[in-house]
Amino acid sequence: MSETPVSILIVDDEFSVRDSLEHWFRRDGYRTAGARDGEEALHRLQEDRWDVVLLDMKMPGMDGLDVLRRIHALEPGILVIIITAYGSVESAVTALKEGAFDYINKPIDPDELSHVVQRALEQRRLSSENVALKAKLEELSTVPHIVGESREIQKVLELVRAVAPMDATVLIRGESGTGKELIAQAIHAQSPRRYFAIVPVNCGALTESLLESELFGHERGAFTGAQFRRKGRFEMADGGTLFLDEVGTLSPKTQVELLRVLESREVTRLGAAKPIKVDFRLVCATNQDLEQMVAEGKFRDDLYYRVNVVTIHLPPLRERREDIPLLARHFLDKFSRQMNRPFRDVAPEAVDLLVRYPWPGNIRELANAIERALVVGKPPLVRPEDLPVSLAPPAGGAPAPQVGDSLADVEKAHVRAILERTGWNVSRAARILDIDRVTLYNKIKKYELSQTSSAALGAR
């Protein structure tokens, strides 16, 4: 129970009404005061905090309805109970439309008065609880911090802000490690659905049948091993956002099922007879070339159009190099706090290395490099030798192949180097570069790389 007594302001031009009601409420331990007209009532409202106002409709000067409007202008959350003369229901109804909590007729039935006041106080308690909970949720569902000042990332964030409040399906594209899930979270956290869950599903991590039961849920005994009834991810995302990562890896069968759910907004648990209505926003992510997959018949075109309503392209880290020092600093702060290691900064020579490296694994690789440096290094500075060897400039020995200064030149040289190292084993090279094979093929095509050109370069 709250320590401060409930406060009730009684506004009536008749002294006996004010006096007897004040007396009546004081017996319940309420703090009370009376006001003989609208002016005095507004004055008292400015002076003190009141939970409930009992307001007579008929008073000389400002009438009850005017007072009600002015009270609400002054303090919108306050609960006003109207007192009307018996039979003047019409004015009471007008007052209700103007936002009064309820009305009671004079002479007031004491049972009714107790109940109306109790209900008003309950409503007040619930709404202040609601405000407090929303504030708490707001605090918990803060928009994830996305680091970056480059024009590229600012454009992405602008698009996120614009698209988040709408319910449109969003497709986030970008290489592995560019922060697609973080962008999905940012969209969710800025959407009206933020008070509900964002449910992530990594489509690439599960086999077809596991993914199906994960997405749809199942009834008890739906299949061998289904000992309990289980809610699927679609149902869990009801009211919120469903984030399908690596959507390009969905099998043809799951693609059909997903399409059906998106069209009907209904899901049927495995082994269940009846469908359940679901309402979620869909956000997908992929690092694959969906257009090519559609052309090759690997991804359904009808699903492609459903999923590809608004597209957000996340630039790879090498295309926003000016953000590398900021990101490095961000991860340094984050991990040093987590590990309780007193690192203050990254040494300028180390920053230089970080900026020059092409980061095929993007931000994830950068985060790992910093985390590792904090483990092996000595506070307070991250030094070049604390960084992974792959970042180090070629030392002495074989001179680095001469490449141009543009990003494309650096990327081309790096892709070629890795391909050579793996003897043109595309799968292995893609794994090392942390990109998928299709992307690697695209890059080979884009840079017109071939085993002959490499050989030619090697011979030079």
Partner 1 sequence: MSGIALVPIHLAEGPSLLRHLEKRLAATFGLAVEARRPWFDPDRAYDASRGQYNSTLVLAQLQGGAGEAYDRVLGVAGVDLFIPVLSYVFGEAQLPGRAAVMSLHRLAPEIYGLPADPARLFARAVKEAVHELGHTYGLIHCREPGCVMRSSTYVEEIDLKEERFCAACGRAVRPGG
* Separation CA 370–CA 386 (nearest Å): 9
* Separation CA 213–CA 249 (nearest Å): 16
User: Least Å distance between CB 20 and partner 1?
Assistant: 4
> Residue 116 corresponds to which tokens in the numbers above?
């109306």
> Is residue 44 left, alpha or beta, with left meaning phi > 0 and alpha meaning psi from -120 to 50?
alpha
Judged by CB, which is closer to partner 1: 15, or 305? 15
Judged by CB, which is closer to partner 1: 3, or 448? 3
Interface residue with partner 1, options 2, 4, 27, 397 (CB under 8 A)? 27
Q: Quick check: 387 and 425 in contact, CB under 8 A?
A: no
User: Least Å distance between CB 64 and partner 1?
Assistant: 15
Q: Quick check: 71 and 80 in contact, CB under 8 A?
A: yes
- Contact flag: residue 23 with partner 1 (CB under 8 A): yes
User: Least Å distance between CB 98 and partner 1?
Assistant: 23
Task: Name the segment binding partner 1 (CB under 8 A); options: 18-26, 139-147, 224-232, 291-299.
Answer: 18-26
| String marking each residue 76-95 x if it binds partner 1 according to CB under 8 A | -------x------------
Please name every residue paired with 106 in a beta bridge, in sequence order, or none if there are none: 85
- Contact flag: residue 353 with partner 1 (CB under 8 A): no
- Contact flag: residue 161 with partner 1 (CB under 8 A): no
User: Least Å distance between CB 110 and partner 1?
Assistant: 5
DSSP 195: G
* Separation CA 244–CA 141 (nearest Å): 20
- Contact flag: residue 113 with partner 1 (CB under 8 A): yes
Interface residue with partner 1, options 77, 107, 393, 401 (CB under 8 A)? 107
- Contact flag: residue 208 with partner 1 (CB under 8 A): no
> Residue 52 corresponds to which tokens in the numbers above?
């409930």
> Residue 144 corresponds to which tokens in the numbers above?
């994830």
Interface residue with partner 1, options 29, 76, 87, 225 (CB under 8 A)? 29
User: Least Å distance between CB 102 and partner 1?
Assistant: 16
The three-state secondary structure class of 355 is helix
Judged by CB, which is closer to partner 1: 32, or 308? 32
Interface residue with partner 1, options 43, 49, 115, 265 (CB under 8 A)? 115
Among the listed residues 323, 397, 393, 387, the one whose alpha carbon sits nearest the alpha carbon of residue 350: 387
Among the listed residues 351, 315, 317, the one whose alpha carbon sits nearest the alpha carbon of residue 332: 351
User: Least Å distance between CB 35 and partner 1?
Assistant: 15
User: Least Å distance between CB 43 and partner 1?
Assistant: 23
DSSP secondary structure string, 45-75? Answer: HHHS--SEEEEES--SSS-HHHHHHHHHHH-
Judged by CB, which is closer to partner 1: 115, or 220? 115
Task: Name the segment binding partner 1 (CB under 8 A); options: 13-21, 136-144, 308-316, 321-329.
Answer: 13-21
User: Least Å distance between CB 32 and partner 1?
Assistant: 11
Interface residue with partner 1, options 26, 125, 161, 446 (CB under 8 A)? 26
- Contact flag: residue 119 with partner 1 (CB under 8 A): no
- Contact flag: residue 108 with partner 1 (CB under 8 A): yes
Cα Rg of the chain, angstroms: 33
Environment class of residue 113 by beta-carbon count within 10 Å: exposed (0-12), middle (13-18) or buried (19+)? middle
SS (H, E, C) 413-442: HHHHHHHHHCCCCHHHHHHHHCCCHHHHHH
- Contact flag: residue 114 with partner 1 (CB under 8 A): yes
| DSSP element (H, E) containing 31 | strand 31-35
Residues in the site for partner 1, rule: CB under 8 A? 1, 12, 14, 16-17, 20-21, 23-24, 26-29, 83, 106-111, 113-115
